[in-house]
Amino acid sequence: MPPVSISADSHPAVSSPAARFESEVILSNIREVARLAGVSVATVSRTLKSPERVLPETRDKVNAAVEQAGYRPNLMAVQFRSRRTGNLVILVPTIANTFFARVISGAQQAAQTAGYRVLLCDTQGREDIEREFAELVHNHQADGVIQLRAFDPFAEPCHNLEPAPIVNACEVIQGGRHPTISLDNRAAAKAMTEHLIGLGHRRIGLIKGPKSSPLTRDRVAGYQDALQAAGITCDPALICHGDFTLQAGHDGAAALLALSERPTALFCENDEMAIGALKRIKEQGLRVPEDISLVGFDDIPFAAYCDPPLTTIAQPAEVFGQKAVEMLIALIEKKPLAERHVVLPFELALRGSTAAVKHEK
Amino acid sequence: MPPVSISADSHPAVSSPAARFESEVILSNIREVARLAGVSVATVSRTLKSPERVLPETRDKVNAAVEQAGYRPNLMAVQFRSRRTGNLVILVPTIANTFFARVISGAQQAAQTAGYRVLLCDTQGREDIEREFAELVHNHQADGVIQLRAFDPFAEPCHNLEPAPIVNACEVIQGGRHPTISLDNRAAAKAMTEHLIGLGHRRIGLIKGPKSSPLTRDRVAGYQDALQAAGITCDPALICHGDFTLQAGHDGAAALLALSERPTALFCENDEMAIGALKRIKEQGLRVPEDISLVGFDDIPFAAYCDPPLTTIAQPAEVFGQKAVEMLIALIEKKPLAERHVVLPFELALRGSTAAVKHEK
DNA sequence: GTGAAAGCGCTAACAA
DNA sequence: TTGTTAGCGCTTTCAC
């Protein structure tokens, strides 16, 4: 029995078995096109994939039929058959972060150029959600994963599953098994702290990120490196925790400004917290930079629009995304990786929020 | 010939035909699990999909086999077969926008609850990219589309393609054919303008969004409504164009402040532009709100952290995303829609950037 | 250069 | 309750 008999009316597939048994209407498929063009399905497939292997006349016939049928290849079938989705998963701790937005933009660009698509997943930094989305690879919904946080969603080895292509960018796992793209956070924090020390600051407050973040660990280390190199004892009271939000910066500043021996400069581990801190400083009736210098990290667009404009550390955010995609695609396509651990350059963006320390008393 | 002969060693599928002919290793499939459990593939499928239709003992055997094989259903095959991807495409003009970030977050939440996934697409507001991503639906890569901009990516009717489920949120198409979730932008702008008029302002500058945006059209209309109701003639010189960026706000403010008859209040159609304008106002040595009142739109997190805190219009951003997803899923699953056009409430967030007009001279 | 046919992994009739 | 079987739409040998 021939499996499918396609009628010749204007709405061919509507009355096909598929349409009868499945809820959705199949409006045209490769068989329909083949019939219209008077060729085999194989020829249609070839015309679409490698036209050079088909006679020009045949090609024209097929293309006309494609047009006539309004044919769109069912990518679900294509991918199923060819075991390749063209999807890249990006795990973002939070989309509501201007820095990540730039990273994603760079990734999107690179993916599009390479013929891949980006599936963005806002994981809220939750490991369960990260694992779930990373599963998309094992489920054959995506070809690889880019993780922007220091957590390996494939940490628990799924015994006999093929290792999934994954690249770790921005906040990277220490000594991890996966390729990374990172900033030398330690050097950057050191450079910024040196800038403050150079302005005469000795009591420099630090508002950190969450304890668990290696990115924070590195930045703290850089801060301490600089202090040590300048012979300044690190006062633990000057360091407080935050979570990269505006509110955290506000709260952190409140705590540091309440110290009996107030810091003369404040280093926030990201710009959001610096902007939060700025508000608190002003609420206290203090001026930036006259009374207290303030610096951030990331150089988000708002940084330059603060009052005063925020001195911060500029990262090539888009490049993170771009590099991550390029490396991931190499991994997927099993091409050699030039480097497994890329370190991107930073730049101090010196603006108006820092000044020489005021001689008190 | 039996199509597949699975060997019994510890790495069964590695030596299967699939592994030999395709580049990727199939580590286990439903057939392998069925073999391991001593049941048919149908029983495995049932155990996974509707366990209640399988005997508990059988179920246990199958589950054990699933475990043993480290089996993950190939969702590509599942979706291909069942003609449903569980993916929702969200077209975002730009991810680097704090307002959209909140919308997306709400959408993500709702999608996850309903068992759908979100594919985020940063379209940069480009129609070609929007069309391309919207095509994912016709390609069977996604079940539906949420568009956050006033452009119909399916505008050109693809003759015999089934109409794709699409919901239009945030910036909606006038008289469009698709379900919408929007704010009453006109009423919101009117309310804000009335607030300014109530403070005694008569010359109120307006920094608009791009000409093409209906959202802008509505907000301008609301602004004019309020002026008219108060008997104030609308001076076209007080209206200038922007594109929702910090820079645009800065430039717009520069233009308006250079007028011989300077406005006493500035209404920016989003907070980013208001923050840009704020910077320009201060650069000019003017004070907000003493010399000039300033208001924005959206209530992004940074708004409350400005100096002074920005008076703005709060939108329930997350609800846009949530509602859009709920409506889209109803569309996809062909359930009835309670309303085709949802209008969400706004709220004036009155902060420190507005004050009664100063009596000049 | 083209066609016939096998089959990707899974689901869902239908039969037993 | 379970098994058998026919495909989903497409790609890809392998003949011709």
3-state secondary structure B89-147: EEEECCCCCHHHHHHHHHHHHHHHHCCCEEEEEECCCCHHHHHHHHHHHHCCCCCEEEE
**Degrees (nearest 5) of the Cα angle A344, A349, A352?**
165
Q: Look at residue B358 and tell me if it is in a domain.
A: no
Q: Look at residue A352 and tell me if it is in a domain.
A: no
Of all residues in chain A, what percent carry a pLDDT higher than 70? 90
pLDDT reading at A12 higher than 60? no
Q: Where are the alpha helices (DSSP H) in B230-257?
A: 246-257
C-alpha distances in Å from residue B25, one per residue of A40, A148, B21, B31, B58: 30, 27, 10, 15, 29
Q: Look at residue B11 and tell me if it is in a domain.
A: no
pLDDT for the residue A158:
55
Question: pLDDT tens for residues A114-143?
Answer: 888 888 888 888 999 899 888 888 888 889
pLDDT reading at B255 higher than 80? yes
Stretch among A8-12, A213-217, B100-104 having the lowest mean pLDDT: A8-12
Q: Which of B32, B122, B270 to mutate to test the interface with A (most CBs of A within 10 A)?
A: B122
C-alpha distances in Å from residue B253, one per residue of A349, B241, B246, B248, B349: 25, 10, 11, 8, 22
Q: Are residues B307 and B321 in the same domain?
A: no
pLDDT for the residue B158:
55
User: Residue A82: CB partners within 8 Å, gap ≥ 6?
Assistant: none
Q: How far apart are CA B21 and CA A361, in angstroms?
A: 81
CA of B61 to C1' of C16 (A): 22
Buried b (16+ CB within 10 A) or exposed e, A325-343: bbbbbbbbeeeeeeeeebe
Question: Which pLDDT band holds residue A113 (cuts at 50, 70, 90)?
Answer: confident
Q: Are residues A249 and A102 in the same domain?
A: no
**Nearest protein residue, CA measured to C1' of C8:** A81
Q: Are residues B322 and B311 in the same domain?
A: no
Range of the domain at B190: 185-315
CATH number for position B246: 3.40.50.2300
Strands B347-349 and B204-207: unpaired
pLDDT for the residue A23:
33
Question: pLDDT tens for residues B104-157?
Answer: 989 988 998 888 888 888 888 899 989 988 888 888 888 999 999 999 998 876
pLDDT reading at B204 higher than 50? yes
pLDDT for the residue A17:
33
Q: Look at residue A144 and tell me if it is in a domain.
A: yes
Q: Are residues A275 and A324 in the same domain?
A: no
pLDDT reading at B238 higher than 90? yes
Q: Are residues B207 and B247 in the same domain?
A: yes
Q: Are residues A75 and A99 in the same domain?
A: no
Question: pLDDT tens for residues A139-170?
Answer: 888 899 999 999 999 887 655 567 889 999 99
Q: Closest Cα to residue A265, out of A215, A349, A210, A193? A: A193
User: Residue B79: CB partners within 8 Å, gap ≥ 6?
Assistant: A76, B85, B86, B140
Q: Look at residue B336 and tell me if it is in a domain.
A: yes
Do the Cβ atoms of A305 and B138 come within 8 Å?
no
Q: Which nucleotide is nearest to B80 (CA to C1')?
A: D8
Of all residues in chain B, what percent carry a pLDDT higher than 70? 90
Q: Look at residue B2 and tell me if it is in a domain.
A: no
Query: Is the distance between the Cβ of A81 and the closest atom of strand D smaller than 7 Å?
Result: yes
pLDDT reading at A361 higher than 50? no
Q: Is A192 left (phi over 0), alpha (psi -120 to 50) or beta?
A: alpha
Domain count, chain B: 3
Query: Is the distance between the Cβ of A6 and the closest atom of strand D smaller than 7 Å?
Result: no
Q: Closest Cα to residue A354, out of A294, A273, A291? A: A294
Query: A129 and A73 in contact (C-beta within 8 Å)?
Result: no
Q: Are residues B242 and B298 in the same domain?
A: yes
Q: Are residues B209 and B230 in the same domain?
A: yes
Question: Which pLDDT band holds residue B2 (cuts at 50, 70, 90)?
Answer: very low
Query: Which of B's residues 12-71 have CB atoms within 7 A of nucleic strand D?
Result: 21, 38-43, 46, 53-55, 57-58
Question: pLDDT tens for residues A272-283?
Answer: 999 999 999 999
Q: Read off the pLDDT of each residue in B55-66 and give the average, rounded to a whole number.
A: 92
Q: Are residues B201 and B290 in the same domain?
A: yes
C-alpha distances in Å from residue B295, one per residue of A30, B188, B225, B230: 57, 12, 17, 19
Q: Are residues B50 and B109 in the same domain?
A: no
Question: pLDDT tens for residues B13-23?
Answer: 333 333 333 33
Q: DSSP strand E in A195-287: where? A: 204-207, 239-240, 265-268
**Nearest protein residue, CA measured to C1' of C6:** B3
CATH number for position B43: 1.10.260.40
Select the more confidently predicted residue: A67 or A226.
A226
Cis peptide, bond prior to residue A308, ω within 30 of zero: yes
Task: Say which amino acid occupies B130.
Answer: E
